[in-house]
Amino acid sequence: MASTRPRPTREQLAVRLRRAEGQLRGVQRMLEEGADCTEVLPQLAAVKAAVDQVGLHLISDRLRACVDAGDGDCPEEFDEAVATFLRYATLAK
């Protein structure tokens, strides 16, 4: 079943990255101020999750565009997108 939630625009993804950038600066500040790891790690995990979500949205848009185009190059484009996804998923671990 397809999701009925609207896909974020590139501008919305950029806003999400700017928000993650602010969170990351906050994590840096926490480290500089000697915050305990139990305070820092959840914030770091939130930054990572935000960045991962942007990457997954970009990859899913690429896959969706390939399928929606329905042209003869789709299998090759799909293979490239899957390879990108697998590379990204490996790096995101």
pLDDT 10s digits, 41-53: 999 999 988 888 8
pLDDT 10s digits, 64-81: 777 777 766 677 777 777
Quick one: DSSP state of residue 70?
-
The span from the first CA to the last CA of the chain, in angstroms, equals 27
Residue 79 domain-assigned?
A: yes
Residue 23 domain-assigned?
A: yes
CA 72 to the chain's CA centroid: 28
Domain count, the chain: 1
Give the domain extent around 83.
11-91
Residue 48 domain-assigned?
A: yes
Q: Give the global pTM.
A: 0.72
